[in-house]
Amino acid sequence: MQVQVGIIGAGPAGLLLARMLHLQGISCAIIESRSRAYAEGRVRAGLLEQGSVDLLTETGMGERLHKEALVHDGIELIFNGERHRIDLHELTGRRVYIYGQQEAVKDMIAINLAAGVPIYFEAEAHKLEGVESTKPRIHYRYQGKDEVLTCDYIAGCDGFHGICREVIPPALFKGHDRIYPFGWLGIMAEAKPTSDELLYCRHDRGFALFTMRSESVSRCYLQVPPDENPDDWSDDRIWSEFDTRLGRHEGLTLSTGKILMKGVTAMRSFVTEPMQFGRMFLAGDAAHIVPPTGAKGMNLAIADIYVLARALTSFYKKNDSRGLETYGETCLRRVWRAQHFSWWMTSMLHISPDGNPFDHKRQLAELYAVSTSRAGQTYLAENYVGLPFET
Ligand code: RFL
Ligand code: PHB
């Protein structure tokens, strides 16, 4: 099989790229190791920046999103027994949207397939060949047979555990890594959200986040040790810990309900440099990981694709390869800004296991500095709603 762009991975990055290329008449195919049901059922992100929503809308993938997403104008920071609201919309003129990643993935799969874009599920890419030539090849295994996809360019949208990063020669490859001494225990529950807006709570026992998927489904996270076993957390223990970390506030009562699923995720920051080698371009989690406190992972994946799709379009439509040459550089400017923001939100709100009373007082002082000054609030809000896409 031969296409112009071979895409590895049917996550948000690969699916959006396929859609944007297809709309420009550029042929592509997606190789995805998991089944369609698995890809559509994987519970992960939930918060989309306005810019991400605008791009999904422009590419014809926003119809259900606009019907079902919850639109949020603000968030709350809760610390030291106080609630502080950050009015995102008043400060930036922009909003954020709550829409489950797996819902966005379902929409993107359906629209791509309906448009005739081939997506090979349960097809595992195991080798890239000739990425420095003009006809790179993806070797993959599909329905028990070895197959080859020949293309002009390869998009490595294969997530953090993918294989594409490995083709960058060790002499050129730099991986910037930070592993945090904590993780998140995430739950999905049949419970109306505790509040209309997201609550980010810094408590002496650890961080807690109250978010949601709909008016009747809560998604909540607790800071736990990175190797915590979720089975050690009974439903009663989970709700009791959320209750403690939320604290007592007038007009705010923890909403509980049946826990539908739970899981622990370790947290890390990671950046690959460079993001391209020969005719292979990394995008999304394949190139970078952020701790989820800033809600940036999926949004960064979408921002990479905005740059990559435009660069490929300029090449095919105008024979202009400048966008491709500077792809990684362009993306990395935004990636490092998001890395900083995600690290900052994480360090400001989590309790470090080796923290001392000085660290606790300094952390509270920082939270007051951010939430009681308009300049501080604006800094947080501008980054939270997302920086404009680079052109
Ligand atoms: P994905 O979604 O991991 O997709 C990669 C795909 O590649 C496939 N694959 C292969 N296919 C073929 N051959 C191979 N050899 C392959 N190797 C891998 C995989 O099966 C998979 O389908 O990467 P992508 O597209 O870059 O998207 C990134 C996002 O998924 C990720 O950044 C977000 O989920 C992160 N994230 C959040 N991001 C946000 O923007 N807002 C949030 O609110 C948010 N919350 C979160 C999050 C991530 C979390 N976890 C579980 C890590 C909350 C959590 C708890
Ligand atoms: C989510 O809704 O899953 C979510 C929202 C905000 C975050 C992280 C996760 O910072």
Residue 287: inside a domain = yes
Contact 5, 26 (CB under 8 A): yes
Q: Ligand 1 test: best mutation among 17, 42, 270, 298, most atoms within 8 Å of CB?
A: 298
Atom 50 of ligand 1: nearest residue by CA position? 44
Bond from prior residue into 136 cis (ω within 30 degrees of 0): no
Tell me the CB-side half-sphere exposure of residue 276, using CA atoms within 13 A: 21
Residue nearest to atom 7 of ligand 2 (CA): 295
Q: Is the CB of 291 under 6 A from ligand 2?
A: no
| Beta strands in 93-217, from DSSP E residues, in sequence order | 96-98, 119-120, 123-129, 137-142, 145-150, 153-156, 174-190, 198-203, 206-212
Q: Both tokens of residue 112?
A: 């791509």
CA 135 to centroid of ligand 2, rounded, Å? 40
Tokens (6 digits) for 179 = 């592993």
pLDDT at 23: 98
Q: Which atom of ligand 1 is nearest to the CA of 101?
A: 34
| Number of residues in the chain | 391
Cβ of 292 less than 6 Å from ligand 2: yes
Q: 211: Cβ below 6 Å to ligand 2?
A: yes
Q: Which amino acid is at 243?
A: D
For residue 345, give the ligand 2 atom closest to its CA: 10
Closest ligand to C-alpha of residue 209 is 2
Helix (H, G, I), strand (E, B) or coil at 58: helix
Q: Positive or negative CA dihedral for 389, 97, 251, 208?
A: negative
In a domain, 118, yes or no: yes
The parts of the chain modelled with pLDDT lower than 50 are none
Q: Which helix (H) or strand (E) holds 357?
A: helix 357-372
In a domain, 215, yes or no: no
Tell me the C-alpha distance between 385 and 6, whole Å.
32
Residue 123 lies in a domain: yes
Range of the domain at 135: 5-72+96-176+268-352
Atom of ligand 1 at shortest range from CA of 289: 32
Does the residue 199 lie in any domain?
no
Contact 308 CB / ligand 1 (< 6 Å): no
Main-chain dihedrals φ then ψ at residue 143, nearest 5 degrees: 50, 45
Long-range CB contacts (within 8 A, 24+) of 313-319: 313/20, 313/21, 313/24, 313/26, 316/4, 316/24, 316/26, 317/24
Ligand 1 pocket test, candidate residues 158, 198, 342, most atoms within 8 A of CB: 158
Ligand 1 pocket, 44 CB below 6 A?
Answer: yes
Residues in CB range of 161: below 8 A, 6 or more apart: none
In a domain, 104, yes or no: yes
Q: How far is C-alpha 298 from the chain's CA centre?
A: 2
Q: Which atom of ligand 1 is nearest to the CA of 46?
A: 43
Query: Which residues are marked as active site?
Result: 72, 200, 292, 296, 384
Find tokens 């997403």 and name the residue: 69
pLDDT of residue 391: 66
CB 249 within 8 A of CB 83: yes
Looking at residue 164, what DSSP letter applies?
G
Task: Identify the residue whose C-alpha is closest to ligand 2 atom 2.
Answer: 46
Q: Which ligand ends up closest to the CA of 101? A: 1
In a domain, 249, yes or no: no
Provide the pLDDT for residue 9. 98
Residue 164 belongs to a domain: yes
What is the distance in A from the centroid of ligand 1 to the CA of 320? 31
Residue type, 94: R
CA distance 30 to 105: 14
How does DSSP classify residue 351? P
Q: Is the CB of 186 under 6 A from ligand 2?
A: no
Rg (CA), the chain: 21
**How many domains does the chain divide into?**
1
What is the domain-level CATH number for residue 132?
3.50.50.60
